[in-house]
Amino acid sequence: MSEKAEIAIIGGSGFYRLAPSLDLNRCVVEDVETPYSNIPVKLSFEELEDVPVCFLARHGEQHRFPPHKVNYRANLWALHEFGIKHIIAVNTLGAINTDFSLPQLIIPDQLIDYTWGRDHTFFDGLNSLSDHIDFTEPFTAELREKLLTQAEKLKLSAATSACVACTQGPRLETAAEIRKLAKDGCDAVGMTLMPEAALARELKISYASIGLVVNMAAGLAEGEISIEAIQEVLAAGLTDVRKLISAVLPTI
């Protein structure tokens, strides 16, 4: 089964298994060694809607790695080693655009990278011109279109374009930082899109994201951001994310 999968799902917060009830008989788990980490990357190969698919929990088991400690290079390298050609990433986000509801699905088409100090490239050795990937459109248009078509069929009212700010975390932002991100043109904010999206491009893997908005960003709602409230919205939103993934897989 593992050799057949060409599509991977990278699950984010709250999304640690492809199907909530994992059928161990139908799932092959591989611990993949990579040149980028002493800790192997756990990939699970399953079938969903009769499509072979690889699942990777971005934060590891039990959310072991916070966003700034995720070994993005090891994760992407492991997927590349297994011949993955398409990645659908799931990213939880805070809303900057006040038109968004909670939960809200968005299929982002742009991003701005505000992270720092993360190992963000495979091209760390001798430079060559081909090491400068084009990143004008950070998400793969064909994959985004497929997600949008299925979201529309399922009446999930996913936002069809959005610019996502990727911040360093793990703390949430200040209200002033969110005002600045809004001025920069960002509609939502998360912590995990980068360097993941760029590393996928370096490896020539197509990449699109299902963004799940789980809170209004700092300063845009009354008072503090409550993690309990986020968890409730997250649980509700993930049902739609799973529906969308099941619908899109057979179309890729």
Choose which of 44, 75, 92, 209 interacts with ligand HPA (CB under 6 A). 92
Nearest C-alpha neighbor of 211 from the set 140, 178, 162: 162
Nearer to ligand HPA, 149 or 174 (CB): 174
Residue nearest ligand HPA by beta-carbon distance: 94
Nearer to ligand HPA, 58 or 146 (CB): 58
Instruction: Determine the interface stretch with ligand HPA among 48-56, 116-124, 134-142, 183-191 (rule: CB under 6 A).
Output: 183-191
Handedness of CA 235, 238, 240, 242 (dihedral sign): negative
**104 touches ligand HPA by CB under 6 A:** no
Handedness of CA 90, 64, 226, 236 (dihedral sign): positive
Nearer to ligand HPA, 5 or 88 (CB): 88
List, as one string, the DSSP characters of 159-196.
BS--EEEE---SSPPPHHHHHHHHHTT-SEEESSSTTH
Nearer to ligand HPA, 12 or 138 (CB): 12
**181 touches ligand HPA by CB under 6 A:** no
> Least CB distance from residue 1 to ligand HPA, whole Å?
33
CB 92 within 8 A of CB 225: no
Place of tokens 């079938």: 47
Spatial distance between the Cα atoms of 244 and 194, rounded to a whole number of angstroms: 23
Nearer to ligand HPA, 90 or 205 (CB): 90
**167 touches ligand HPA by CB under 6 A:** yes
Nearest C-alpha neighbor of 204 from the set 115, 113, 140, 125: 140
> Least CB distance from residue 212 to ligand HPA, whole Å?
8
Helices (H) and strands (E) in the chain, counts: 5, 10
**187 touches ligand HPA by CB under 6 A:** no
Nearer to ligand HPA, 5 or 220 (CB): 220
Choose which of 106, 172, 220, 238 interacts with ligand HPA (CB under 6 A). 172
**217 touches ligand HPA by CB under 6 A:** yes
Spatial distance between the Cα atoms of 55 and 17, rounded to a whole number of angstroms: 7
Residues in touch with ligand HPA (CB under 6 A) = 92-94, 167, 172-173, 189-191, 214-215, 217
